[in-house]
């Protein structure tokens, strides 16, 4: 009798346990927070909230004012000396390869600093220069206020942590925002070609 | 073992409160290694220490569904799997309700069922369970050491490496301990048998039976043995 009851209890526990694990991993598809964020966004595009930015040119803009075109967004801090230089060069390459849709106003690149205390307009301008930007269609900006920074990090699902040696580490990626202002995809920061293809396939011909 | 049965639940509550207080919580959640290998195991220990709180009757009815501790070990294993997900670890830092689920779920779904089941478990099931613990330590260690990216957004890559190395150490140490017990560990059983021969009835039956004192307590409120 205890053996039968134990079998029954075990089957119930197994079913509940597997259901919990499936729920906790989106059906065994996302085992990390980063994978979950990407899956979430691709299945449920997220409308971006209002947030104010200050550009490298010192201009105040709202995130919503960039609607009407595809945005490729990356988060940066300009003091970064490691992968960020690669990230910057990758965006410069995207600027070249997407030159035509950028010129047509269909695509823009946006680098947002999560270190606004240090990254003022001069630092952001220097970042664009060092990365190799040639002006058109690539905006570098910092959140206008601390709440704007929080809003942006939360909306894009970016987690920033101190790296223990004075800088930061974050879940770097290229985020794609569609012309309606919705976050629709998050891609590996070191595979810009994927983001390029994603946008090119969706542009009207 | 050393503490009296009434001291255990007090220890459990004390440990749980100490872990839940902000200073300890922040200190133990500051690194991935402390979070996964110290905080969560200590929460489970608090749950283990809660076991003597259960009234004898509740314990007996649970035992009827927990033949040889199998359903309890299954419950603890599945609950432990949830807390091995990097995603769950991140969520426990970011979502208050996940943090609450950790502080409540780990003691009650891992520590407590282990305490209720382990003493009832036979040699073979214990062996399988321990080998699975070792295999899990090696598997996770490999995962953390070889992962090309950070698995937890809230922890550094160096932290992930340290966790991988520590898990490797735990896997090796546990295997050595099991091997040692298999080769030289018979002395425990033999001692028990000698004890039984010299008059004590406590060690009769399987070696995992509760000590005579606990048995007397279990039957004290019932119909009597």
Please give the pLDDT value at position A99: 92
- Determine whether the interchain pair A2/B151 forms a contact, defined as Cβ–Cβ distance below 8 Å: no
Q: How far, in Å, CA of A176 to CA of A182, rounded? A: 8
DSSP A109-127: EEEEES-TTT--HHHHHHH
Q: Does B101 touch chain A (CB under 8 A)?
A: no
- Chain A residues with CB under 8 Å of a chain B CB are 1-3, 5-6, 8-10, 13-14, 16-18, 20-21, 24-25, 30-36, 159, 161, 163-164, 169-171
Among the partner-chain residues A6, A36, A159, the one whose CB lies closest to the CB of B154 is: A159
- Reduced DSSP (H G I as helix, E B as strand, rest coil) percent helix, strand, coil of chain B, to 5: 80, 0, 20
Nearest CA to CA, how far is A57 from chain B (Å)? 32
Q: Which residue of A has its CA nearest to B85?
A: A31
The pTM of this model reads 0.84
Which residues in chain B are closer than 8 Å to A171, comparing Cβ atoms?
A: 150, 153
Q: Are A187 and A176 in contact (CB under 8 A)?
A: yes
Can you give the pLDDT at residue B5?
Answer: 59
pLDDT for the residue numbered B197: 53
Judged by CB atoms closer than 8 Å, whether chains meet at B81 and A21 is answered as yes
pLDDT surpassing 60 at residue B223: no
Q: Say yes or no: B79 contacts chain A, CB-CB below 8 A.
A: yes
Compute the distance between CA of residue A147 and CA of residue A41 in angstroms, rounded to an integer. Answer: 22
Instruction: Enter the ipTM.
Output: 0.87
What is the C-alpha to C-alpha distance for residues B44 and B36, in angstroms, rounded to an integer?
Answer: 11
Place of tokens 């205890």: A2
Q: Provide φ and ψ at A170, rounded to 5°.
A: -145, 165
pLDDT band at B190 (very low <50, low <70, confident <90, very high): low
**Cα gap B15→B21, rounded to integer Å:** 10
The C-alpha of B65 sits at a distance from chain A's nearest C-alpha, in angstroms, of 5
B187-217: string of b/e by CB count within 10 Å (b at 16+)? eeeeebeeeeeeeeeebeeeeeeeeeeeeee
Residue A82: burial class (beta carbons within 10 Å; 0-12, 13-18, 19+): exposed
pLDDT over threshold 60, residue B208: no
Cβ B74–A31 below 8 Å, yes or no? no
Contact B70 A30 (CB under 8 A): no
Chain A positions touching B71 (Cβ under 8 A) are 6, 9-10, 13
CA–CA min distance B185, chain A (Å):
29
Across the A:B interface, residue pairs with CB atoms under 8 Å apart total 87
- The closest alpha carbon to A31, from B121, B90, B161, belongs to B90
CA–CA distance from A112 to each of A31, A56, A130, A138, A172 (Å)?
Answer: 28, 10, 16, 11, 12
Cα B153 to Cα A186: distance, rounded to the nearest angstrom: 15
Give the up-direction half-sphere exposure of residue B130: CA atoms within 13 A in the CB hemisphere: 18
Write out residues 174-213 of B within 8 Å (CB-CB) of A: none
Predicted confidence (pLDDT) per residue in A75-111, tens digit? 999 988 777 778 888 899 999 999 999 999 999 999 9
| Segment among B42-51, B121-130, B187-196 with least mean pLDDT | B187-196
Interface test with B, best of A1, A4, A6, A153 (most B CBs within 10 A): A6
Instruction: Report how far Cα A75 is from the mean position of its chain's Cα atoms.
Output: 7
Looking at B92-167, which runs of residues are DSSP E strands?
none
pLDDT digits (tens, 9 = 90+) for B78-119: 999 999 999 999 999 999 999 999 999 999 999 999 999 999
Whether B189 has a pLDDT exceeding 60, the answer reads no
Phi-psi region of A65 (alpha: psi -120 to 50; beta: other; left: phi over 0): alpha
What is the distance between the alpha carbons of residues B24 and B22, in angstroms, rounded to a whole number? 6
Match 């040119």 to its residue by tokens: A57
Which of B65, B152, B156 minimises the CB distance to A164?
A: B156
pLDDT digits (tens, 9 = 90+) for A112-166: 999 999 999 999 999 999 998 987 899 999 999 999 999 999 999 999 999 888 8
- Chain A residues touching residue B94 (CB < 8 angstroms): 33, 159
Chain B residues within 8 A of A33 when measuring between CB atoms: 86-87, 90-91, 94, 152-153
Residue among A73, A75, A49, A77 nearest A62 (CA): A49
* For the ranges A85-94, B134-143, B196-205, the one whose mean pLDDT is highest: B134-143
Instruction: Say yes or no: B64 contacts chain A, CB-CB below 8 A.
Output: yes
Tell me which chain B residues have a C-beta less than 8 angstroms from the C-beta of A30. Answer: 87
At residue B191, does pLDDT exceed 60? no
Q: Which residue has the tokens 């990090």?
A: A153
- Decide if B70 and A6 are in contact by the 8 Å CB cutoff: yes
- Which residues have a Cβ under 8 Å from the Cβ of A160 and sit 6 or more positions away? A75, A114, A153, A168, A169, A170
Q: Which residue, A174, A166, A168, A177, is CA-closest to A193? A: A174
């Amino acid at each position: 009798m205890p053996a039968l009851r134990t079998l029954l209890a075990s089957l119930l526990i197994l079913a509940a346990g597997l259901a919990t694990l499936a729920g906790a991993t989106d059906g065994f598809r996302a085992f990390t927070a980063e994978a979950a964020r990407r899956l979430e966004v691709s299945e449920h595009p997220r409308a971006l909230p209002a947030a104010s930015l200050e550009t490298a040119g010192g201009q105040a803009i709202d995130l919503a004012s960039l609607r009407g075109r595809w945005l490729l967004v990356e988060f940066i801090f300009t003091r970064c000396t490691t992968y960020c230089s690669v990230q910057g060069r990758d965006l410069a390459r995207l600027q070249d390869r997407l030159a035509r849709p950028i010129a047509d106003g269909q695509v823009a690149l946006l680098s947002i600093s999560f270190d606004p205390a240090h990254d003022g307009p001069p630092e952001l301008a220097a970042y664009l220069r060092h990365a190799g930007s040639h002006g058109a269609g690539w905006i570098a900006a910092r959140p206008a206020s601390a709440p704007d920074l929080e809003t942006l990090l939360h909306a894009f699902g970016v987690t920033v942590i101190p790296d223990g040696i004075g800088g930061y580490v974050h879940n770097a990626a290229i985020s794609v925002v569609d012309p309606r202002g919705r976050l629709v995809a998050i891609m590996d920061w070191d595979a810009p070609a994927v983001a390029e293809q994603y946008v090119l396939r969706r542009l009207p011909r | 073992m050393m503490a009296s049965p009434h001291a255990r639940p007090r220890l459990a509550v004390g440990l749980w409160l100490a872990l839940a207080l902000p200073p300890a919580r922040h200190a133990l959640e500051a690194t991935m290694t402390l979070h996964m290998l110290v905080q969560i195991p200590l929460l489970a220990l608090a749950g283990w220490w809660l076991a003597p709180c259960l009234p004898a009757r509740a314990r007996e009815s649970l035992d009827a569904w927990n033949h040889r501790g199998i359903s309890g070990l299954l419950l603890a294993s599945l609950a432990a799997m949830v807390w091995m997900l990097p995603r769950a670890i991140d969520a426990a830092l970011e979502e208050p309700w996940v943090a609450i689920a950790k502080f409540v779920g780990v003691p009650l779904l891992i520590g407590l069922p282990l305490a209720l089941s382990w003493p009832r478990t036979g040699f073979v099931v214990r062996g399988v369970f321990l080998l699975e613990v070792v295999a899990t330590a090696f598997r996770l260690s490999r995962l953390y050491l070889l992962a090309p990216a950070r698995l937890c957004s809230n922890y550094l890559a160096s932290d992930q490496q340290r966790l991988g190395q520590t898990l490797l150490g735990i896997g090796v140490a546990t295997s050595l301990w099991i091997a040692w017990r298999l080769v030289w560990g018979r002395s425990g059983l033999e001692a028990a048998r000698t004890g039984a021969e010299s008059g004590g009835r406590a060690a009769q039956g399987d070696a995992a039976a509760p000590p005579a004192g606990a048995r007397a307590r279990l039957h004290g409120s019932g119909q009597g043995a």
